[in-house]
Chains A and B, each alone.
Chain A
Amino acid sequence: MAHFTKATSVKDWLNQRLAVEKIEKVMASEYWIPKNINFLWAMGMILAITFALLLVSGIFLLMYYNPDVNLAFDSVNYTIMREVDFGWLWRHVHGVAASVVFLVIYIHMFTGIYYGSYKKGREMIWLSGMLLFVTFSAEAFSGYMLPWGQMSYWAGMVITNIFSLGGLHMDGLVEWIRGDYVPAQAFLTRFFMLHVFLLPLAIMGLIGLHFAALRIPHVNNQDGEEIDFDAEAKKYLDGDKAGSKVMRFANDFMSKDMMVVGIYLIFFFYLVFYNYGFAMDPVNFDPANGLKTPTHIYPEWYFLWSYEILRPFSINIGLMAFGFAQVIFMLLPWLDRSPNAVPASRRGKFKIWFWLLLVDMIVLTAMGKLPPQGIFSTIGLVAALGFIALWIALPFITMNEKKV
């Protein structure tokens, strides 16, 4: 048994029992971050803050929301929006944060791809991050069902139908997922459970894993430089703060994190109060009606690119392409055959690949929302084929990349 002495202070008391000083060192003051990083490295903190906003606003919405098909719509639009003091604020924060969190996730992802931050021991960071993307997607989708508006209902119908797996006709599976022949009470309650309990739990676990995966390989930097963290940390602790290539996470890097967060929050609250329409689709303010399909059905903007990969093909090929798009990002660390963990700007063909992928996904996103007719349908098909071709080409263009 450990030996306890009479504590000399509250801190000492805690130290003996919880080793708070050591934890503080490991997590903050001696968690070393390279200095040569830019504001894109603050996206992790922005995501943490946004998740906190979602969690807090969600708690208050949960106090008045009613997961009953006859009451859900009114509990949101009447009770929360009209009666509950500041209910509208929680709802707008929740809705806007759910949309913006994906913008930041995409920036975070493309930062990782650009700087090669998924290689040389950082594979688990990438994998846990992609798992977070998947669970966030499921969280966003299940949350979108809850107001039980027209878009909730029809998006629920269309997305659960994907599980019939086209030519396999697994209608039983679809009915099992829904708990009914169509989205109805059982469907709403189970997605409610997923949204407020199981998925947030999974997300919090994965966030822990994501942070833990970062601890051993350390954060990447914007020059692809290999840093001897032990030597540089010693330099810093010996007093040469300016000469060392690393800095403390707290307060050094955190102060920059918070500066970026400050600018981000200006943008965020502008959206919450003045430009929320993109995140709260007008169609979803019509109550769910199983006998009337809206003229245009489209998912939220962050799902559009993968939706567009599904759409231009016949159903079986479309589903295969869709499945491909869902898993291919996970395999990035192994599809990129080059050992260079440096910015894309110094990687020749990979640089072209990176920008093509980004532009292609934006084109897919745009076409995914537009009505699938005429030129839009053709552009969508080309972009979907382009997406697949880019990923098939990746191992070949990185195989013979020159070592830098």
Chain B
Amino acid sequence: MKNKEPLILVVVVAFTLLTYWLVEPFAHSQMHKHVESEHFAYADLAKLTKDGDVANGKVLVTGAAACAGCHSITKEGIAANVDAVTAAATYGVNPPDLSNAGVLFEARFLADLIKNPAHALKVEHKFDAAKGQMHPMVAFYGAGGDIDQEIADIVAYLQSIAVTKEELTPKMAFENACGRCHSMSYENWTQIGEKPKFKHKKDSLAFDIKVLEYQDSIVKYMGKLPPDLSMYYRSRSEHFLSTFIENPQSQLEGTAMPRVGVTAEVAEKIIEHMADAGDTKRAERASVGANVMIYIIFFAIFAFLWKRSVWRDLH
């Protein structure tokens, strides 16, 4: 009698794969709009054409440009004027510390941000100066000289004080670029920093109240509380996260989240930190997986050999 098993196997596998393709890759391609990555080129922003002068940049940042009026630069010994909660109550969100801005953000983004914050951040639908909706960050109108040169100087200065790319850890990237709006409870991160261990419950509650007050300010500023990102690595695809960080408007039109303006490498580090939080054991999974696969192939081979020996008498 002819052995029909290969044909049956082909039929079973074919229908299984067809169903899988329909409900997974095909259905998801229909449900989610595909956004192409622009590789963090920020091509809509003008390129920096001038070479910056670090020393003059420093003068501008601490002087005429008045950056230090709102931003701390802890690396340079410039502390924040007020604490995060008070700052958020004033500006909507705590203005970032500028120590590492030079390594986090793409130069052309920084330049455009200094000149026209709402434009660089892609939140002009929320902050339309013509309608009197001013972005909390005041634009830099120049210190009297060539404004493009001055901005190049500021960028050069910020780049000069920042840590190097290699020194920037995934955790630092996340906390600096995302952590003032987003919490990450699985990494013990709140919008006002890591929650310390308190000896007394009273102190712990006092800290929680500060977080809640800070969150109230962001809710007022953003419309809703930006989500906790602990599990976002598993609830969104890596491609989604990357293109969303690049340009939130491309995936979610009208969202209050600003464009972050990080470089491609920093975006990768942010996603790596999210993976550390949401898929902590991925390395262990890969190594255990390889061993289990090798074992299970041996299992199948031995099962086959046993079957053959048992069935020798049956034919």
Contact, chains A and B (beta carbon distance below 8 A): yes
Assess whether B30 is in contact with A259, with CB atoms less than 8 Å apart.
Answer: no
A-side contacts of B186, CB under 8 Å: 77-78, 82
Q: Are the CB atoms of B22 and A261 closer together than 8 Å?
A: no
Band of interface residues on B: 35 or more
Q: Is the CB of B31 within 8 A of A88?
A: no
Per-residue interface assignment for chain A, residues 241 to 285, with 1 indicating a CB less than 8 Å from any chain B CB and 0 otherwise = 110000100011001101101110110011011100110101111
* Minimum CB distance partner of B13 in chain A: A267
Judge whether B307 and A270 touch: CB under 8 Å: no
Q: Interface stretch among B115-123, B174-182, B289-297?
A: B289-297
Number of interface residues of A (CB under 8 A): 55
Q: Which of B253-274 contact A (CB under 8 A)?
A: none
In the bound complex, do residue B314 and residue A286 qualify as a contact, i.e. CB atoms below 8 Å apart?
no
Give the Cβ gap from A210 to chain B, nearest Cβ, in Å.
22
Mask of B23-55 contacts with A, CB within 8 angstroms, 1/0: 110110011000000000000000000000000
Whether a CB of chain B sits under 8 angstroms from the CB of A89 is yes
CA gap between A362 and B24 in the complex, in Å: 13
Q: For the complex, give the distance between the alpha carbons of A259 and B310 in Å.
A: 12
Cα-based distance from A222 to B292 in the complex (angstroms): 34
- In the assembly, what is the distance between CA of A274 and CA of B296, in Å? 15
Chain B residue with the shortest CB-CB distance to A363:
B22
* Chain B residues whose CB sits within 8 angstroms of the CB of A285 once the complex forms: 231-232, 234-235, 278
User: Contact between B30 and A371 (Cβ–Cβ < 8 Å)?
Assistant: yes
A259 touches B303 (CB 8 A): yes
Binary per-residue interface labels of chain B (106-124) against chain A in the complex, 1 for a CB within 8 Å, 0 otherwise: 0000000000000000000
Contact assessment for A286 and B231 in the assembled complex, using a CB-CB cutoff below 8 Å: yes
Note all chain B residues with C-beta closer than 8 A to A304: 23
Q: In the complex, are the beta carbons of A365 and B22 less than 8 A apart?
A: yes
The reply to whether the CB of A40 lies closer than 8 angstroms to some CB of chain B is yes
Does B288 contact A256, Cβ atoms closer than 8 Å? Answer: no
B235 pairs with A263, CB closer than 8 A:
no
Chain A residues, Cβ within 8 Å of B237:
282
Given A266-B300, A269-B289, A269-B296, are A252 and B314 neighbors across the interface (CB < 8 Å)?
Answer: yes
Residues B277-315 near A (CB distance < 8 A): 278, 280-281, 284-286, 288-289, 292-293, 296-297, 299-304, 306-307, 309-311, 313-315
Find the A residue at minimum CB distance from B28.
A369
**Assembled-state Cα–Cα distance A263/B5 (Å):** 14
B30: chain A residues at CB < 8 Å are 370-371, 376
| B1 at the A interface (CB under 8 A) | yes
Stretch at the interface among A17-25, A31-39, A201-209, A391-399: A31-39
Partner of A255, one of B231, B293, B300, B307: B307
Which chain A residues lie closer than 8 Å to B281 at the CB level? Answer: 81-82, 88
For A103, the chain B residues whose CB sits under 8 A away are: 16
Q: Does A107 contact B (CB under 8 A)?
A: yes
Please give, as numbers and ranges, the residues of chain A lying within 8 Å of B22 by CB-CB distance: 362, 365-366, 369
Complex: A280 Cα to B314 Cα, angstroms: 44
Chain A residues with Cβ below 8 Å from B286 are 273
Judge if A301 is at the interface, Cβ distance under 8 Å: yes
Taking a contact as CB atoms under 8 Å apart, the answer to whether B296 and A301 are in contact is no
In the assembled complex, the Cα of A339 lies from the Cα of B161 at a distance in Å of: 87
Q: Closest A-chain residue to B27, C-beta based?
A: A369
Within the complex, what minimum Cβ distance (angstroms) separates B74 from chain A?
A: 31
A369 and B296 contacting across the interface, CB-CB below 8 Å = no
* Distance (whole angstroms) from the CB of A209 to the closest CB of chain B: 27
Q: Does B141 have its Cβ within 8 Å of any Cβ on chain A?
A: no
Q: Is A3 engaged at the interface, CB distance under 8 Å to the other chain?
A: no
Q: B15 within 8 Å of A by Cβ?
A: yes
B201 at the interface (CB under 8 A from A): no
Q: Is the CB of A36 within 8 A of B235?
A: no
The reply to whether B293 and A36 contact each other, CB–CB distance below 8 Å, is: no
Main secondary structure of the interface of A (DSSP, over half): helix
Instruction: Select from chain B the residue with minimum beta-carbon distance to A83.
Output: B280
Cβ of A296 < 8 Å from any Cβ of B?
yes
With beta carbons under 8 angstroms apart, the residue of A39, A263, A362 that contacts B19 is A362
Contacts of A272 in B (CB 8 A): 289, 292
**A356 contacts B by Cβ under 8 Å:** no
Q: Known: A89-B288, A282-B235. Contact between A366 and B314, CB under 8 A? A: no
Find the B residue at minimum CB distance from A40. Answer: B8
| C-alpha spacing A242/B186, complex, angstroms | 63
Does B18 interact with chain A (Cβ within 8 Å)? yes
Q: A35-B314, A88-B281, A370-B30 are in contact. Are A362 and B12 (CB under 8 A)?
A: no
Q: Does B130 contact A (CB under 8 A)?
A: no
> In the complex, what residues of A have CB within 8 A of residue B303's CB?
255, 258-259, 261-262
Asked if A270 and B293 make an inter-chain contact with CB atoms under 8 angstroms apart, the answer reads: yes
A242 engages B313 (CB within 8 Å): yes
User: Are A266 and B296 in contact, CB atoms less than 8 angstroms apart?
Assistant: yes
- Would A252 and B311 count as touching, CB distance under 8 A? yes
A82 to B300, CA, bound (A): 32
Q: How far is the CB of B30 from chain A (nearest CB, A)?
A: 5
Look across to chain B and name the residue whose beta carbon is closest to the beta carbon of A87. B281
- Whether A296 pairs with B31 at a CB distance below 8 angstroms is yes
User: Which residue of chain A is the closest to B3 with respect to CB atoms?
Assistant: A38
Q: A173 at the A/B interface (Cβ < 8 Å)?
A: no
Nearest Cβ in chain B — how far from A11, in angstroms? 23
Chain B min CB distance to A239 (Å): 10
A262–B27 contact, CB under 8 A? no
Q: How far is the CB of A89 from chain B (nearest CB, A)?
A: 7
Query: B310 touching A255 by the CB < 8 A rule?
Result: yes
Chain B, residue nearest A77 (CB)? B231
Check A278–B311 contact: CB distance below 8 A.
no
Cα–Cα, bound, A272→B306 (Å):
26
**Is there a chain A Cβ closer than 8 Å to B100's Cβ?**
no
Given contacts A82-B186, A242-B314, contact A259 B16 (CB under 8 A): no
A-B contact pairs, 29 of them (CB 8 A): A35-B314, A38-B4, A38-B5, A39-B5, A77-B230, A82-B280, A82-B281, A88-B284, A88-B285, A89-B288, A241-B313, A241-B314, A255-B309, A258-B306, A266-B296, A266-B300, A269-B296, A277-B24, A278-B20, A282-B235, A284-B235, A285-B231, A285-B234, A286-B231, A286-B235, A301-B23, A362-B19, A365-B22, A370-B30
Pairs A-B, 8 closest by C-beta atoms: A273-B289, A262-B300, A285-B235, A366-B22, A262-B303, A255-B307, A255-B310, A285-B234
